[in-house]
């Protein structure tokens, strides 16, 4: 099988026009199969956190496998604007000369975070305890996303923080207000809210404890531990005591399972596929897509398991197999919340009916993913019924059609993989934001066997 490696195929634009038109269209010819060995880009969630903790640590942090995409580069640019010395000697490598917890400087202007909800929510927590004022802004999509879920508990800790009356960005933080630790019961299962409060807790007096509903991503806790900061997590809660310091580390970022998901599902549904994905992060709070697909009958083999820092990693081999519709267990929902657009494509190609409930969080992502996916599936003649908190999909294959991704990167990539089983050509509109998380997607997908091209 040919080898496909994650090389320097994409050059990041250093300056992008804010709120630029999402004009790129994916054109997918029907058929094809996915073969070869490839590495998906570094995990976005871990890349964000490595920059944030490295910036406030003591000493020099080196990051390998960093995801060079618009969202993570927005985080990097924000810390540069706050005086942190950051170098990028090679693709995927970042060197951060940590400023320490109190070494950040007031930025000269607003911190523009593009489309990155992770950047805005986590920075809201980290900056709530600083001595300077700061305003966090984003593009048109990010400016519609809910932020009160973060600002309200931070205000309870003593932060002077607010967003617009609609509960959306910009987020305005007034510095110099001392924080106190709180015990907070998460009303919704959100790892970003949990992480924001833990980061604020680094600057707070006393203990900060977050009680979770269900199982949430624990990347922040694992990375705090890697930077030598005492944190207790698991069994439905996370807690730490403020006042400690972080020590610089060498961090290796595993491949992003969310990015791998598109290729996993493509290989599951396309006859003749035989695909190996190397270095995929297998954090147990993120592996819901593997659990769900295996329940549907997917043939996913774990070839090698190892660890990168505090994170479990594996190589995967995926071959096609007949998929059957299932009722997705609700306990799997937080383990696969970002992967459901692609899982819906698998459901459309499966035999029988797939039912998802308990996923209302999908409605407040980069788009209302339940609505946009239902509209896209309907355009491909798939029987899909939107529910307030999920979807009912009756499988049987997909036809040709035109889909508007609404600028949502995960929806664009999910429907691209649908072309492997489509009866005709698929056009996917507004795909520009794929660059926010997976800038190499078109190149890797094309080289592995998807019949994809782009047009403006």
The confidence score (pLDDT) of residue 268 equals: 98
One-letter-per-residue 3-state SS of the chain: CCECCCCCCCCCCCCCCCCCCCCCEEEECCCCCCEEEEECCECHHHHHHHHHHHHHCECEEEEECCCCCHHHHHHHHHHHHCCCEEEEEECCEEEEECCCCCCCCCCCCCEECCCCHHHHHHHHHHHCCCCCCEEEECCCCHHHCCCHHHHHHHHHCCCEEECCCCCCCCEEEECCCCEECCEEECCCCCHHHHHHHHHHHCCEECEEEEECCCCCCCHHHHHHHHCCCCCEEECCEEEEECCCCCECCEEECCECHHHHHHHHHHHHHCCCCEEEEEEEECCCCCCHHHHHHHHCCCEEEEEEEEEECCEEEEEEEEECCCCECCECCHHHHHHCCCCHHHHHHHHHCCECEEEECCCHHHHHCCCCHHHHHHHHHHHCCCEEEEECCEEEEECCCECCEEEECCCCHHHHHHHHHHCCCECCCEEEECCHHHHHCCCCHHHHHHHHCCCEEEEC
The confidence score (pLDDT) of residue 219 equals: 97
The confidence score (pLDDT) of residue 283 equals: 97
CATH class of the region 44-252: alpha beta
Give CA separation, 99 vs 45, 57, 82, 85, 410, in Å.
Answer: 22, 6, 10, 8, 34
Q: Are 41 and 256 spatial neighbours (Cβ–Cβ below 8 Å)?
A: yes
Q: What residue ranges do the domains of the chain occupy?
A: 25-43+254-455, 44-252
What pTM value is reported for the model? 0.91
What CATH number should be reported for the domain whose range is 25-43+254-455? 3.65.10.10
The confidence score (pLDDT) of residue 11 equals: 25
> Which sequence positions are flagged as catalytic?
338
Neighbours of 178 (CB within 10 A): 11
The confidence score (pLDDT) of residue 401 equals: 98
The confidence score (pLDDT) of residue 189 equals: 87
The confidence score (pLDDT) of residue 214 equals: 82
Tens digit of each residue's pLDDT, the chain (456 residues): 333 333 322 223 333 333 344 489 999 999 999 999 999 999 999 999 999 999 999 999 999 999 999 999 999 999 999 999 999 999 999 999 999 999 999 999 999 999 999 999 999 999 999 999 999 999 999 999 999 999 999 999 999 999 999 999 999 999 999 999 999 999 988 999 999 999 999 999 999 999 998 889 999 999 999 999 999 999 899 999 999 999 999 999 999 999 999 999 999 999 999 999 999 999 999 999 999 999 999 999 999 999 987 999 999 999 999 999 999 999 999 999 999 999 999 999 999 999 999 999 999 999 999 999 999 999 999 999 999 999 999 999 999 999 999 999 999 999 999 999 999 999 999 999 999 999 999 999 999 999 999 999
Fold matches, 25-43+254-455 and 44-252: yes
């Amino acid at each position: 099988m040919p080898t496909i490696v994650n090389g320097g195929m994409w050059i990041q634009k250093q300056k992008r026009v804010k709120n630029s038109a999402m004009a790129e269209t994916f054109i997918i010819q029907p058929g094809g199969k996915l073969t070869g060995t490839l590495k998906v880009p570094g995990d976005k969630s871990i890349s964000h956190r490595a920059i944030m903790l490295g910036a406030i640590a003591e000493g020099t942090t080196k990051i390998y496998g960093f995801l060079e995409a618009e969202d993570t580069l927005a985080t990097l640019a924000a810390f540069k604007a706050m005086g942190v010395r950051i170098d990028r000697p090679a693709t995927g490598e970042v060197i951060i000369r940590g400023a320490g917890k109190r070494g950040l400087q007031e930025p000269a202007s607003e911190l523009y975070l593009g489309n990155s909800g992770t950047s805005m929510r986590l920075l809201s927590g980290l900056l709530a305890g600083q001595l300077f004022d700061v305003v966090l802004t984003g593009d048109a999509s990010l400016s519609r996303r809910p932020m009160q879920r973060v600002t309200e508990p931070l205000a309870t800790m003593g932060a002077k923080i607010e967003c617009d009356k609609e509960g959306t960005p910009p987020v305005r933080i007034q510095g110099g207000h001392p924080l106190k630790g709180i015990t907070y019961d998460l009303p919704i299962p959100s790892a970003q809210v949990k992480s924001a409060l833990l980061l604020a807790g680094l600057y707070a007096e006393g203990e900060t404890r977050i009680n979770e509903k269900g199982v949430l991503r624990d990347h922040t806790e694992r990375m705090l531990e890697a930077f030598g900061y005492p944190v207790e997590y698991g069994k439905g809660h996370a807690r730490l005591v403020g006042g400690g310091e972080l020590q610089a580390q060498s961090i290796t970022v595993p491949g992003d399972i969310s990015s791998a998901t598109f290729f996993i599902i493509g290989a599951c549904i396309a006859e003749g596929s035989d695909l190996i994905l190397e270095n995929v992060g297998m954090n147990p709070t993120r592996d819901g897509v593997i659990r769900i697909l295996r329940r549907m009958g997917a043939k996913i083999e774990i070839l090698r398991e190892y660890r990168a820092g505090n994170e479990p990693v594996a190589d995967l081999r995926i071959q096609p197999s007949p998929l059957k519709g299932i009722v997705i267990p609700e306990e799997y929902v937080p383990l696969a919340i970002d992967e459901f657009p692609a899982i819906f494509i698998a459901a459309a190609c499966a035999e029988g009916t797939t039912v998802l409930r308990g996923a209302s969080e999908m409605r407040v992502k980069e788009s209302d993913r339940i609505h946009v996916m239902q509209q896209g599936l309907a355009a491909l003649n798939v029987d899909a019924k939107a529910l307030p908190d999920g979807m009912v999909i009756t499988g049987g294959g997909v036809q040709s059609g035109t889909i508007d991704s609404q600028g949502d990167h995960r929806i664009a990539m999910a429907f691209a993989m649908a072309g492997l089983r489509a009866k005709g050509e698929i056009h996917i509109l507004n795909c520009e934001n794929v660059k926010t998380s997976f800038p190499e997607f078109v190149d890797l997908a094309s080289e592995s066997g998807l019949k994809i091209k782009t047009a403006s």
